[in-house]
Amino acid sequence: MTAASFSTLDQSELIHLALEADRLGNSGASLTYLKEAVARPDATAPAHLLLGAGYAQLQMYDRAAAEMESALAVDPSFAIARFQLGLLQLTSGDAERAMSTLLPLQELGEQHALNQFGSGLIHLMRNEFADTLACMSKGMALNTDNPALNTDMQLIVDKVNALPPEALAAAAPAESAPAEAADTPPVPDDQVANPIFLSAYTSGGKQ
């Protein structure tokens, strides 16, 4: 597609073309559409998020994080971008930044899936595994819009359940209160906080 052809496409068309190209396995075309979308003055948060997801699939994690941060700069309330950025930071070993990114998701309320998923990751960083499992279970029950995200959260559940008994026994006891900022830096368990691939996104839609 020529530059002149691109000029006739609006943001929504570019995003839909990128999603279709990705569905067909053409990651190069998908990235081309999304890079065109984010280069424009009217770039949207979903376009930045989807480009970040594309970079994450290519294991270009620094670029992925930068695009997700750009999505939040455009729209700080874009909850799925905040969650995915926090997850990426956590799986990249930056637990302190992940905590800071994820905490605002608690403002969504306990009946929002991303509130529960974010709290689950915060509990995970503290080795509070029972609370991690409880939050992930509730989040998956609440999440009816993005099955791929539930699949990724199930991966975390499976990893926690596969921990050796001594790791679970040494973990902090479960608490009924929601996750809050800890006084001490969170320490992710090496057996849990390894790279977990980011989920597919639901048409770049806002959650």
User: Over the stretch 27-79, which tens digit does the pLDDT of each residue have?
Assistant: 899 999 999 999 999 999 999 999 999 999 888 999 999 999 999 999 999 99
Residue 76 one-letter amino acid:
P
Q: Could you give the CA distance from residue 124 to residue 145 in angstroms, rounded to a whole number?
A: 24
180 pLDDT band, cuts 50/70/90, is low
Res 168: pLDDT: 72
For range 145-164, the mean pLDDT: 91
User: Over the stretch 111-136, which tens digit does the pLDDT of each residue have?
Assistant: 999 999 999 999 999 999 999 999 99
Q: Could you give the CA distance from residue 97 to residue 86 in angstroms, rounded to a whole number?
A: 7
Higher pLDDT, 138 or 174: 138
Q: How many CB atoms lie within 10 A of CB 142?
A: 17
Res 179: pLDDT: 54
Residue that the structure tokens 């009946």 belong to: 111
Structure pTM? 0.79
Reduce the DSSP state of residue 65 to 3 states and report it.
helix
Measured in whole angstroms, how far is the alpha carbon of residue 59 from the centre of its chain?
A: 14
191, pLDDT greater than 50:
no
Q: Could you give the CA distance from residue 64 to residue 136 in angstroms, rounded to a whole number?
A: 24
Q: Could you give the CA distance from residue 95 to residue 42 in angstroms, rounded to a whole number?
A: 33
Sign of CA dihedral 135, 140, 146, 147: positive
